[in-house]
Homo-oligomer: A and B are copies of this chain.
């Protein structure tokens, strides 16, 4: 069996400490489940700025393009607030997404039974919640041209960004959503602002056309993005798969993540197109950020990063069995009462990042 190549990019803030726990699980899989990985490491974000003056070096970019999967921690922090716009830490992540053509970002918002009470929503509203948000990740206002800030003189400036989508961009991500829905609740809700934006109208029409041509068996609905922001609060369990653009996806997936009350638990996968051999470029990262305020203190929750590796097992390596093993190990440790600070509640046992890692390894 050939070894899979993994590129680990721990990044900034709590990135390195949570990724250390991931590394332990990777090694365990190598030893115990006949799954061989060759692991390399690189820098992205603020730490890459400090080392190379850019948030992602060309060498690291090349390594990412060659890897079977990239595992990312988190990027950014106040330390780099003064850095110019095109060199900021986030630019490293955006370059990875764009050059790897990771157009489909899968963000599950799942409520773990043991953590229902961590939500600020009433338990009956969120118990059993299981939404999959499919966010377009390489288009829209994140990458559209023209863009920039223009000086008009007399202290007046003008800032411009461009929201742009084409039919193929819309349909390839919608396809991912429909395929996922077939393996889940068989419902897709597509969100845009077609009542205000022509790009949203096109989104709506292209999703509708693809549905009619190829996915009539899946139930499709459309919702304005503002209405979706409401409905996520009012009755989140109405949703199965949500598909939306880059910017709405950014906001709605963060909102959905917070409904669960435990954003330190949520993984994500960013996928490219399958090549002839069925292989997709892919990057996996937790939904949470770099949390600079708690970095280096061994208190961050490593579960989102661990479950992101679980998504890698599932989507990149077709090892659903190992992914299930990891999911179950996490569930059992939670059932046992182990909690990092972010999900701590009365009566549970508070533990550090590394002790959480220990417990999950023991459970495996």
Binding site for B on A (CB under 8 A): 76, 85, 88, 90, 94, 120-122, 125, 141-142, 144, 147-149, 152, 155-168, 193, 195-203, 206, 225-227, 229-235, 247-248, 250-252, 254-255, 257-259, 263
Contacts and interface: CB of A to CB of B under 8 A. Distances in A.
Report copies per complex: 2
Contacts of A251: 225-226, 229, 248, 251
Contact of A161 (B159, B163, B263): B163
B165 A163 contact: no
A90 B229 contact: no
B257 A159 contact: no
Contact of A157 (B90, B167, B226, B227): B167
Nearest to A156: B167
A243 B94 CA distance: 27
Contacts of A229: 229, 251-252, 254-255, 258
Contacts of A257: 230
Contacts of A85: 198, 201
Contact of A198 (B121, B161, B232): B161
A200 to B, nearest CB: 8
Nearest to A151: B167
A112 B182 CA distance: 42
A267 to B, nearest CB: 17
A163 B166 contact: no
A108 B152 CA distance: 35
A195 B125 contact: no
A154 to B, nearest CB: 9
From A120, A226, A254, residue with most partner B Cβ within 10 Å: A120
30 contacts: A120-B125, A121-B122, A141-B196, A141-B197, A149-B198, A152-B166, A152-B167, A155-B167, A156-B168, A157-B166, A158-B165, A158-B202, A159-B164, A159-B166, A159-B198, A159-B199, A159-B200, A159-B202, A159-B203, A160-B163, A161-B164, A161-B197, A161-B199, A162-B163, A225-B251, A226-B250, A230-B254, A230-B255, A230-B258, A234-B258
Contact of A233 (B120, B227, B247): B120
Contacts of A159: 164-166, 197-203
Contacts of A259: 233
Given A159-B165, A233-B233, 15 more contacts: A76-B195, A120-B235, A142-B196, A156-B168, A157-B202, A157-B206, A158-B164, A158-B167, A159-B164, A193-B247, A225-B251, A226-B254, A229-B229, A229-B252, A230-B255
